[in-house]
Structure formats: structure tokens, C-alpha cells
Structure 1
Amino acid sequence: MRVESFFSKTTRTALKNEPPGEWIAELPDDCIRLSSGYPAPELVPDELLKEAVIRLFEEERDLPLHYMGSPRVPKLREQIQERLACRGVYVLGEELLITSGACQAIDLIARTFIDAESVVALESPTYMEALEIFQNYTKDFMSIPVDEQGLETNLFEEALVDRKQKGLPLPKLLYVIPSFQNPTGTSLSLERRRHVLELASQYNFLIVEDDAYGELGFNEAPTSLKALDKEDRVLHVGSLSKVIAPGMRIGWVAGVSKWIKALAWFKKDLDHPFAQAVMASFLENTDYEKRLKSLRESYQSKCSALTSAIEEHFPEAVSWYVPEGGYFTWVKVPGVDTAKLLEKALIKGVSFVPGKYFFLNQADGMEYLRLSFSYANEEEIVEGIRKLGRVIKSELKNI
């Protein structure tokens, strides 16, 4: 029996891609993790979440352990609506779907809107897991470069004009991380945000706005694309993974009610009532704005430690972006294959993510790497950059 013969055609095609998580390197125990895009351990509110669980069981007994028993599950939807309203995004209950993290939201969008003939426009570089998801459904992409102001919308417009003139199919949707992008840390300027919405209207495509880092700006929070959306073309994807705890798996997608109903059609997991009830219990007893302020201050301090260390320890040939929020910065090491550089860096006890994993054409990312300042403490960050700087200098001498 040929086991593979029972897979669908879509599955057989998807399984030809690199396995999910291929970019995750095996790290030594004592390695300084500048690769980990996770919240800092000390910033995950484990004690407060424990109190939320105890409070939940004391007040509701067995209800959160049933399919639809806890009254706090619908309360979570209201809490997320309130958070979105603080960002200028006003949605009704039927315009919001709670998901198991942002990745489930992106996968549901891809499953609902994309088929093998669809064109998906992406930033280049972009979030590697979203790239993995979209590649499961189509092989037809447009890659648009990113600079210090985010997606280069003028180049995007030129590419759209060219495709239309040549009679090539136009994109069905654009996936974009407009605020503190993963991996570059850059943010789309307000002018470009408006431009990309104009292009969506003119060329009739949807926008998937991944706003995972939108609340983690060091200064004024960027205006969400969804808040600027006058034609209901934006599917707004969010998550509490970066601001509370990734293991809780609380994400969402907001958009036109008919779209949300279609996404829910394929979401047959009956939600995750216990996790959602715990999160609602946590949020109802948390000063969210105070928490955000604390997170922003902590990550800004870590980011400053990272960029100062880079200035001190990296050679002049290296360039990087200075982020204004989020978790990451993006570094170019000219003439160096960063995948091979990682092997040497790990021996010295520091990790990063090679840039190739963030590109459709991995060769485009050979000279780049992503550094995270979210997970390690400031002392580790400085020491990690010092070690990495030595490795880079050694490599550049050999060119």
C-alpha cells in the first residue's frame, strides 16, 4: 500500500515544502538566545495567571471544563473588542473570531480565500511561519521589498501595473505586518499605510494585517490599517501571545461578518474554553494599560542595550535597522552566509536566525540575520552581541 496515495493533491504538494520549524536550530544549554522571539520569562505573568485559574474554579467549578460552559468565554470576546477599540478598530461580535493564536487565524484565512491559482503578495522578508502556511495553498507569490519604512508601496504599485499590462493574475490578498515587522522590526509609515489601502481598492485585493506587535511601540502606537480601512478590505489578525503568554494560544481575526462566518465554518475545534475562560479571568483583574507600559519600557531598555552593543562590537561593514517597538532588529553582514555564520556563533554560545528563512527565494536572505531582544536579559544581550561581533569580524577577515 502506498500511504502517500491517500493524501489529497493539495497535501501531497504541500509536503514537498521544507518541514515547518526547519529554521529552529538546536541550541546548547548555555547559549545566549538572541534567536528566540518569545516574551522575556520574567514578563510572563505566571502568578497572576495561576490566581486567575484558582478564581475561575472557585467561581465556576466544572463549567470551564465543558465545551461551552463558562460564561467568561463570551466575556473574552467583549474584552478583545474593547482592546481593538483602543486601537481605533470598532467591530461587532459577529465581526470577530477568537482563534488558537495568530497562526490559526492566518491558516483559516488561507484555507478560506486561497487556492492553487491564487496570487498572494508578501513582504520580502516576511514572517517565516506565515510563509509556510501560504505555501501550503499556492505557489504563486509576489515578493515586495521592505526598507526602513516597511513595505515599499511604490515598488508594489509598479509590480501591480506591470502584471496588469502583461495580463498576469493580480493578487487576491496581501499579507503584511505593518507595525514592528517580524523579522526587520520596521514599521509602515502612515503615508504608505494609506497608499497600500488605495492599491487594494484600485486592484481589488484583500489585506491580511498581522498586528502581533502593534501594542508594543516604544513611543506613539502606529495607526492600524484596519482603523484606516474605509472599504472593509482588511482582515485584522491579533494575538495576546506577545503581551501576556504565548502558551495560552489566544488570537483573533476581525473583518466583515460574512468573512468571519466563513472562517468559523472551517474552525471545528469548538474553541478552547478553558484557556479562553482563564484569559478572561486574568484580563478582568488586570490593569492592561499599566501592563503595556511596563512591557514597553522593558523592551525599549533591552532594545537600547542591543543597539548600543551592536554599535560597539560589530564592524563598520555591518548595517542594521533601529526598531521603534516589537521584538526584533534586522542585520546585514555583507558577503557572509549567515547560515554558516550561525554554526560558528553557536560554538561561541550565541544564537540568531539566519535571514534566508524569511524569504521565498532563500538566496535573497544569505547576508541577513534576525536578532531578538525580547527573551534574553540585558547582560546576556550585551555579552551575546560581543561574542557575535567577534565571530563576524573573523568571517569578514576571510572574505
Structure 2
Amino acid sequence: MKQQIPFSKEISLAFENDPPGQWLSVLPKGCIRLSSGYPAPALVPSEEIKSAVVQLLSEEGDLPLQYIGSPRVPKLKEMIKERLAGRDVVVAEDELLVTAGACQGIDLIARVMLDKDAVVAIEAPTYMEALEVFQNYTDHFISVPVDEQGLQTERFAELLSNRKEQGLPLPRILYTIPTSQNPTGTTMSLERRKHLLLLAEEYGFFILEDDAYGELGFAKEPRLLKAMDKQDRVLHIGSFSKVVAPGMRIGWVAGPAELITTLGWFKKDIGHPFTQSTLAAFLEGSDFDKRLVSLSSTYQSKCMAMLSALKDFLPPSVSWYVPEGGYFVWVKVPGANTTDLLPEALNAGVSFVPGKYFFLNQEEGNEYLRLSFSYASKEEIVKGVQLLGEVVALDFRKDT
């Protein structure tokens, strides 16, 4: 008689690495959340959104709650187009699709452009949920290392040249977070951006530019890859999750009209009329540029507090990149296994995300961890890093 494998075990056997979502730790009560990649409660405009909802329903009644939606839904699309135009990306009506956050945009592009034989080039490390999405469609990847200047385009050029010489399939798309990357916080230099566009033209791949943190830089914003694109090789993904509220689930994809039309065919939901019209009403009543300046200043201050604490409380052998924006600091703890370190940190009262979840080959991330300065207060950040330093120091002593 054939032995039945429990369903949960059968699912786990389908994954070479940990199943999707395993990076989300159950946090003890009172734990300082340096793992949480979302805004602090005080930075979410709850009262302003509440006022926008009241105004919306007072003016439009049931329309935003119906399938057909509110007249503010197409207005939101126009607002997104205007903001992109202010960043030197001019798109037509049929070149922009509003999505349920950036992740839906990534998934739609993967669904339309990939198959089981397609090759995807990714950064190493990269955004773990994007990696999980791509793994739903293909098993073929090229990992390109990231350093303090972002994606190493010279290394990518070598990989592409070698594959071409060997007759191996070339990537169909490259997924990159060029500005304030998740998890490293690094920003791709202008020279590398130009080089990457040349590589896309030479080797015929598309660039999927994830700009989730692009408006949260601490200095002058670099040019978007989409703004530099002359060959229609860049598919630009944006989101309001990091600059308004992640729970609203509003993002977009900008790209060639033919692709955007096709993504729309595969987008089987009817959109999100209520949240889209609410966001439009919120934007009507806000000085959004002023909000972005305030957010960037706040995050920079919190980032500086984290960097100072890391210098004060972590052993000298520990290193990190200095972010140019966004939410995160990427830390290397030589000789450690940060997955094993996490339970000790949680017991001490601080959380982080182990580095393995950001790599295709998870062993590459054993010595790394991601810290977030977006959620915790500056006082909590300093205390959390101090607790982490004590855990790391204790782990070092165990090994000597």
C-alpha cells in the first residue's frame, strides 16, 4: 500500500529553499522591530485619509463602492502620469496600468513574459518577494552581485558574454531596484545605469525597474532608468506603499502600449475602485511634494541614528553599506549564520531579517542581515542595535 505523505510535508518538499513567506518571524511581545519594512504609524496619514473618505462618499455616494467605480479612478491615473512626467518619464494613456501594489505589477509581467524555459537576471541580493514571484514561472536565473554602487554591470556584461559564447539562453528580463535597493539600501551609479541600458540593447533583454523607494532619497534623486531609456527596454514599476500607506495596495506599471494592453488582459480583477478613488481624493487635498520632503528627512534622521548605533555597539569586524535613501541597512557579520542568530536576537528583544532570504542560493546570505529604520523610533533603533550588538558579541565569543 502506498504511503500517504501529509499535505503540509508534500508542500514543503516542493521547495528547494524555505517556502515563500518564511522570512516573516513571529515576534515576541515588546520586541523592537528592526525587521519591519513598512512605515511607522505616525508616518501614515490616517486622519487625512479618513477625511478623504468622508469627502469622497459625501460627494459621490455609492459610486466608489460599485464595480463601475468613481470618476476619481481615471483621475488617479492622470495624477500618476503627472508625477512621472515631473521625473522625465512621459507616458500616454495606454502606456500606464494601475495595479494592486508593485507586487501585482511584477507578477503580471512575469505571467506575460516568462515561461518555464525563460531566464531571469536578478540582483544578489534582491527583494525576496519578487524572487518568490519569478520562481513561480521559471527555474532559470542569473544572479548578478550588488556592491555600494548598485548592480555590478561589468560583472553582468561578463556573464552575458560567456553565455552567448557558450550558446546558452540569454535573459528575457533583468529585475533591478536601482535606487535605495531592498535590502542593501544602495543606489546604482549613473555610469552603471547607462551601461545597463547599453547591455539591454546589445543582448535584447528588458529591464524591470522597481522604483518603490525612488522618491525617498536623502540627496538628489538619480535619473530613472525609464527616463534614460530610448529603446523601450525599461518596464517601470512604482508604488504608493512606501510614501502613503502600504495597505491601500496601489501601484503601477509604465511601459510600451502593447505590453500594457496585454498586462491588462491578464489582470483579472476589476481594479480597486474604492482605494483608488480614496487615494485620488487624498492627493487632491495634500501637498505631496512637501510630504515627500518630510518623509525623506525623517527617514534620513532615523537612518543616521541606526548608523551611529551600529558604529557604537557592533564589533569592529561587522560592516555595512551606507544607504542613500529608502528603509534599510545591509549588515555583514563575518563568520556568523544570521539564521541561527535570529532566535537569540528575538529572545533579547530585537528582530531582523536573515540575509539568506534575499538570495537565490540562500547560503550566500548566511553572514548577512537586513535592518529596517523605517518603523521603530530613533530611541528604539539605538536600543535595538545595542541589543543586537550584545547578541553578536556573545556569538563571537562562542566561536573563540
Under a length normalisation based on structure 1, what TM-score does the superposition of the two structures give?
Answer: 0.96
Matches for 1:264-275 after TM superposition, within 5 Å? 264-275=264-275
The answer to whether the 8 Å contact 2:183/2:358 transfers is yes
Q: CA deviation at 1:79?
A: 0.5
In structure 1, give the amino acid aligned to 2:291: R
Match of 2:168 in 1: 168
Matched, 1:64 2:64: yes
Q: CA deviation at 1:12?
A: 12
Q: Quote the Cα distance in structure 1 between the aligned partners of 2:14 and 2:52.
A: 40
Match of 1:125 in 2: 125
The answer to whether the 8 Å contact 2:12/2:19 transfers is no
Q: CA deviation at 1:83?
A: 1.0
Match of 1:43 in 2: 43
Matches for 1:181-192 after TM superposition, within 5 Å? 181-192=181-192
In structure 2, give the amino acid aligned to 1:160: L
Q: CA deviation at 1:309?
A: 0.4
Match of 1:7 in 2: none
Q: Quote the Cα distance in structure 1 between the aligned partners of 2:116 and 2:378.
A: 46
In structure 2, give the amino acid aligned to 1:227: A
Match of 1:153 in 2: 153
Matches for 1:308-323 after TM superposition, within 5 Å? 308-323=308-323
Q: Quote the Cα distance in structure 2 between the aligned partners of 1:131 and 1:258.
A: 25
Q: Which 10-residue stretch deviates more, 323-332 or 389-398?
A: 389-398
Matched, 1:305 2:305: yes
In structure 2, give the amino acid aligned to 1:209: E
The answer to whether the 8 Å contact 1:235/1:254 transfers is yes
Match of 2:347 in 1: 347
For the residue of structure 1 that corresponds to 2:144, the secondary structure is: strand
The answer to whether the 8 Å contact 1:89/1:227 transfers is yes
Match of 1:199 in 2: 199
Match of 2:89 in 1: 89
Q: CA deviation at 1:20?
A: 2.3
Q: Quote the Cα distance in structure 1 between the aligned partners of 2:239 and 2:41.
A: 18
The answer to whether the 8 Å contact 1:186/1:321 transfers is yes
In structure 1, give the amino acid aligned to 2:209: E
Q: Quote the Cα distance in structure 1 between the aligned partners of 2:20 and 2:276.
A: 26
Distance 1:219 1:174, change over 3 A: same
May I ask how many residue pairs the two structures share in their alignment? 391
For the residue of structure 2 that corresponds to 1:343, the secondary structure is: helix
Distance 1:247 1:14, change over 3 A: farther
Root-mean-square deviation (Å):
1.6
The answer to whether the 8 Å contact 1:14/1:136 transfers is no
Sequence identity (%): 63
Matches for 1:11-26 after TM superposition, within 5 Å? 18-26=18-26
Q: CA deviation at 1:268?
A: 1.1
For the residue of structure 1 that corresponds to 2:244, the secondary structure is: coil
Q: Which 10-residue stretch deviates more, 12-21 or 254-263?
A: 12-21
In structure 2, give the amino acid aligned to 1:127: Y
The answer to whether the 8 Å contact 1:14/1:137 transfers is no
Match of 1:361 in 2: 361
The answer to whether the 8 Å contact 1:328/1:370 transfers is yes
Under a length normalisation based on structure 2, what TM-score does the superposition of the two structures give?
Answer: 0.96
Q: Quote the Cα distance in structure 1 between the aligned partners of 2:203 and 2:367.
A: 34
